[in-house]
A and B are shown apart, each in its own frame.
Chain A
Amino acid sequence: MSSYVGDAAKAPKFQTAAKALVQNTQLRHNVKRATGVIRNKRAKVVDEMPDWEQLRDSGHEIKQHVMRHLDFYLEQFETNCKAAGGTVHWARDADEANSIIVGLVKAQQAKEVIKVKTMTSDEVRLNGALENAGITPYETDLADLIVQLGEDKPSHIVVPALHRNRMEIRQIFLDKMNLSELGDQPEDLAAAARNYLREKFLRVPVAISGANFAVADTGSVCVVESEGNGRMCVSLPRVLISLVGIEKIIPSFQDLEVFLQTLPRSATGERMNPYNSIWTGVTPDDGPQEFHVVLLDNGRTKVLADREARETLDCIRCGACLNACPVYRQTGGHAYGSMYGGPIGAILTPQLQSMEHSQTLPYASSLCGACYEVCPVKINIPEILVHLRGKVVERGDAPFEEKMAMKAAAWTLESPEHLEMARKLGRIAQRPFVDKGVISHLPFGLDAWTRTRDLPAMPAESFREWWLKREKETGV
């Protein structure tokens, strides 16, 4: 029984993927523009909140509290959901979740399901499992639809098709929706999606959703969205299945007062997103008459067990860290090889896989701290990145040359005598490469720096040497 995160285990190293993506000028342009727009919107609606920092503090503390009592709250949620007519299933890992969900769909003799955006379903590769069982899943979130029809992968937590421009989207719709003509304005494309999906909303009897929040003291589930496809999927079909990571639990309905303020402002830069749907179990005469929640572990309990990285689970999937990240801005989400990209992806993806895969992700950061600054639940991502780097090294998975270089550096920095010795050697070794005090080229694969930057030559006299000389000369 092992946990996996989509196809992250097979993804190339971050550096390798990034190298190609950084040269994709269309992508970089799209990503820069998109993240810039959301950042500006976010800044505006956050600046108008005099209690923003207090909301962040409370959000952080509520989530930390839940993690300390997760067993209690999961059981409380289950009790309340069941009392309202829902059924609660537990899945230890991705395969188990898929097996449960496929079974539930098959029990309806359904050949199609409509889906609301849920990254958790990408994590467990649900669509593949459904298709293998002869069931067709239809993504109904516009961006997920674009990604699905384009046979592509999502590149951002909140705006998954951010790497596509309108002409690319238009072509995808023309090809896959069997349209003879289609305008190229965003309104035309949205209208095409509305028509394509509407007949499915009104007809398909089974829907699969995720959840932004699962409320323990009422047994309610909350879905936060903008387009209306969420409302369609959770209130029209006969059967609703919600796949919910165990970390989505919040203790009390009242706690929504914090997250319903911080999530929309962080995610899309709005005071409130267009639609929130909150329901509890089954309501006679309104909406699904069968409601199933599948609570998913898939590595989350492992993250919980790591005290220093536990707050990774506090994440409310707002995507603000992606928009703030100067690394993400240069590469987009595909470089991370996971539906969870950007700063949160760099810590969540490897941990869900017990640090066996995606080991280059904790290094995909200059530790600038911009993510921590914008996180609505104050996850100290830079600290966790460094912690995970320690785990990579501890496992012995660091590159060999790096290990040797670090060993040599540690020896050098052990004492001033070693430092001076290394400096003396360095001054000799650098001679062939120095021209007027500048080194512009280094040999033998040492050129990661000098490929794009000059390096100052080591001066003939270190500060220490200067000081000691001065001391001797002045007798001070």
Chain B
Amino acid sequence: MSSAREEILERIRDAMGGSTPSRENDYAAIPRNYVRHGSLDAEAKLELLVDRLHDYGASVFHAGDGEIASSVAAALKARGKSSLLIPRDLPRAWLPDGLQFFREGSNYHEVDASEGVLTDCALAIAMTGSIVLRHSAGEARRALSLIPDYHLCVVFASQVVETVPEGVQQMKTFADIPITTIAGPSATADIEMIRVKGVHGPRTLDVILVA
């Protein structure tokens, strides 16, 4: 509807009436005196992340580099599960024997009937306990980490940043792909302000932290 478009743009120009400073200079002049880089060392950063994960009820399994598969097995055992959905390109080395892993390609109802999903992540932000998923073909399409009731996520220590600005800086590099940030299982406080976990997204979130 080009006429609506032109009219709205014209209204905006009329509203501003007169010249405004060069946009680039104007944008550059915006003060940014907030914290843009973290100051914690690697260990403290991980501790902060773990603290925040625990704060919202996620279980954290610590693993060394070659121990991901055994941690996956431990998590599944703890949760009483024996199978998970996985994205197409999830490393085989992460999958323990004796348990079932289904590559994605399922329709929504199959995903809904699954016991849960295992994914990696793009990065994690310690200060807020956020896990950031980048939904490219290599990682999971959005439905996969959304519909199941259980989400097990592998986070490498090297993927952890301290502050939100550092996280957004990285997200910017893949902003053409869908992104989901997760900071806890889904929740609502709409009923008498009492926080209830698990409305629509996965009600249980576990993290394997690989250091």
- A–B proximity contact (CB within 8 A): yes
* A residues whose Cβ falls under 8 Å from a Cβ of B: 30, 33-34, 37-38, 50-51, 54-55, 57-58, 61-62, 65, 68-72, 74-75, 84, 89-92, 96, 100, 140-143, 146, 159-162, 165-166, 169, 186-187, 189-190, 193-194, 197-198, 201-202, 215, 218, 220, 226-229, 231-232, 235-236, 246, 251-254, 256-258, 260-261, 268, 270-280, 283, 285-287, 295, 297, 301-302, 304-305
Beyond A186-B194, A246-B8, whether A277 also contacts B178 by CB under 8 A is yes
The answer on a CB contact under 8 Å between A55 and B175 is no
Q: Does B69 contact A (CB under 8 A)?
A: no
**Cα-based distance from A218 to B20 in the complex (angstroms):** 24
Q: How far is the CB of B122 from chain A (nearest CB, A)?
A: 12
The answer on a CB contact under 8 Å between A231 and B180 is yes
The answer on a CB contact under 8 Å between B200 and A227 is yes
Beyond A190-B191, A268-B189, whether A301 also contacts B12 by CB under 8 A is yes
**Cα-based distance from A449 to B177 in the complex (angstroms):** 61
Which segment, of B77-85, B93-101, B141-149, faces chain A?
A: B141-149
**Among A90, A161, A228, which residue has its beta carbon within 8 angstroms of that of B201?**
A228
Q: Does B116 contact A (CB under 8 A)?
A: no
B27 — which chain A residues lie within 8 A by C-beta? Answer: 65, 251-252
Q: How far is the CB of B128 from chain A (nearest CB, A)?
A: 4
**Cα-based distance from A301 to B52 in the complex (angstroms):** 42
The answer on a CB contact under 8 Å between A90 and B168 is no
B30 — which chain A residues lie within 8 A by C-beta? Answer: 58, 61-62, 65
The answer on a CB contact under 8 Å between A274 and B1 is no
Chain B 11-29 per-residue mask, 1 if CB under 8 angstroms from chain A, else 0 = 1111111001101001100
Chain B 153-181 per-residue mask, 1 if CB under 8 angstroms from chain A, else 0 = 00000000000110111011001111111
Q: Which of A34, A38, A141, A228 has the most CB of B within 10 A?
A: A228
The answer on a CB contact under 8 Å between B200 and A194 is yes
**Cα-based distance from A109 to B35 in the complex (angstroms):** 50
Chain B 115-126 per-residue mask, 1 if CB under 8 angstroms from chain A, else 0 = 000000000010
**Cα-based distance from A236 to B147 in the complex (angstroms):** 9
B13 — which chain A residues lie within 8 A by C-beta? Answer: 71
**Among A165, A194, A277, A278, which residue has its beta carbon within 8 angstroms of that of B198?**
A194
**Cα-based distance from A276 to B32 in the complex (angstroms):** 23
**Among B1, B109, B172, which residue has its beta carbon within 8 angstroms of that of A254?**
B172
**Among B15, B128, B193, which residue has its beta carbon within 8 angstroms of that of A38?**
B193
**Cα-based distance from A251 to B108 in the complex (angstroms):** 36
- Chain A at the B interface: mostly helix, strand, loop or mixed? helix
**Cα-based distance from A20 to B98 in the complex (angstroms):** 66
The answer on a CB contact under 8 Å between A161 and B190 is yes
The answer on a CB contact under 8 Å between A271 and B183 is yes
**Cα-based distance from A34 to B168 in the complex (angstroms):** 32
The answer on a CB contact under 8 Å between B190 and A54 is no
Given pairs A286-B178, A287-B143, A301-B11, 11 additional interface contacts (CB within 8 A)? A33-B193, A51-B34, A54-B31, A54-B33, A72-B23, A89-B1, A142-B190, A162-B190, A276-B180, A279-B178, A287-B142
Q: How far is the CB of B31 from chain A (nearest CB, A)?
A: 6
Sort A-B residue pairs by CB-CB distance and give the 5 closest, nearest first: A228-B201, A228-B200, A272-B128, A228-B186, A235-B142
Q: Can you give 25 A-B contacts (C-beta < 8 A)?
A: A33-B192, A37-B189, A50-B35, A54-B32, A58-B30, A58-B32, A71-B12, A92-B7, A142-B188, A161-B191, A194-B198, A201-B200, A231-B142, A235-B142, A236-B146, A257-B167, A260-B164, A272-B125, A277-B178, A278-B171, A278-B181, A280-B178, A285-B141, A287-B178, A301-B14
* B residues whose Cβ falls under 8 Å from a Cβ of A: 1, 4-5, 7-9, 11-17, 20-21, 23, 26-27, 30-36, 52, 108-109, 112, 125, 127-130, 135, 137, 141-143, 146-147, 164-165, 167-169, 171-172, 175-194, 196, 198-201
Contacts between chains A and B (CB distance < 8 A), count: 249
The answer on a CB contact under 8 Å between B181 and A228 is no
In the complex, residue of chain B having the shortest beta-carbon distance to the beta carbon of A71? B12
B109 — which chain A residues lie within 8 A by C-beta? Answer: 202
Q: How far is the CB of A253 from chain B (nearest CB, A)?
A: 5
Q: How far is the CB of A41 from chain B (nearest CB, A)?
A: 9
**Among A55, A89, A235, A268, which residue has its beta carbon within 8 angstroms of that of B146?**
A235
Q: How far is the CB of B54 from chain A (nearest CB, A)?
A: 13
The answer on a CB contact under 8 Å between B23 and A69 is yes
B194 — which chain A residues lie within 8 A by C-beta? Answer: 186
**Cα-based distance from A85 to B1 in the complex (angstroms):** 17
The answer on a CB contact under 8 Å between A75 and B9 is yes
**Cα-based distance from A74 to B15 in the complex (angstroms):** 15
The answer on a CB contact under 8 Å between A169 and B184 is no
**Cα-based distance from A70 to B143 in the complex (angstroms):** 34
The answer on a CB contact under 8 Å between B142 and A187 is no
**Cα-based distance from A252 to B172 in the complex (angstroms):** 9
The answer on a CB contact under 8 Å between B181 and A276 is yes
**Cα-based distance from A469 to B182 in the complex (angstroms):** 75
**Cα-based distance from A232 to B148 in the complex (angstroms):** 12
The answer on a CB contact under 8 Å between A193 and B199 is yes
The answer on a CB contact under 8 Å between A286 and B135 is yes
The answer on a CB contact under 8 Å between A253 and B171 is yes
B184 — which chain A residues lie within 8 A by C-beta? Answer: 274
Q: How far is the CB of A57 from chain B (nearest CB, A)?
A: 6
Q: Which of A50, A186, A231, A274 has the most CB of B within 10 A?
A: A274
Q: How far is the CB of A71 from chain B (nearest CB, A)?
A: 4
